[in-house]
Copies of this chain bind each other. A is one copy, B any other.
């Protein structure tokens, strides 16, 4: 994926989440589900969809003369990228420091998160394959 700066506004996030939830969507539908509620015009939703597409977060495919947008990655991948980018600007947030910051955050926010995290790690380890050590 692109390595350039990724910034998302509130509307962009709302639209992205709608697409994630629905699996795919076109401007009209997203406007009905998201824009109408928030008071955004159809054009604004279209622009947002387009920007999200330019940012590489949504793929689009023509169906008739309209576009149908689909997510290019999972929520997790995007959230992970967000985390990475918000920390990569700090020299002290590089590599190992990132993990340390996160573990620090978890233990600070709610110690029980550590257990949760640990379980998730086990889960991922198993998915990836044998622990070579």
Copies of this chain per assembly: 2
Q: Are B83 and A102 within 8 A (Cβ)?
A: yes
Closest to A85 in B: B86
Q: Which residue of chain B has its CB nearest to the CB of A104?
A: B76
Determine if B117 and A125 form an interchain contact, defined as CB atoms under 8 angstroms apart: no
Give the total of A residues in contact with B, Cβ under 8 Å: 52
Contact yes or no, B102 A77, CB < 8 A: no
Partner of A101, one of B20, B79, B91: B79
B102, B104, B107, B115: which contacts A102 (Cβ < 8 A)? B102
The chain A residues found within 8 Å of chain B, CB to CB, are 8, 10, 13, 17, 20, 74-77, 79-84, 86-87, 89-93, 96-109, 111, 113-118, 120-121, 123-125, 127-128, 131, 133
- What 9 A-B pairs have minimum CB-CB distances, sorted nearest first? A80-B105, A79-B101, A76-B104, A103-B120, A107-B124, A86-B86, A82-B86, A99-B117, A114-B121
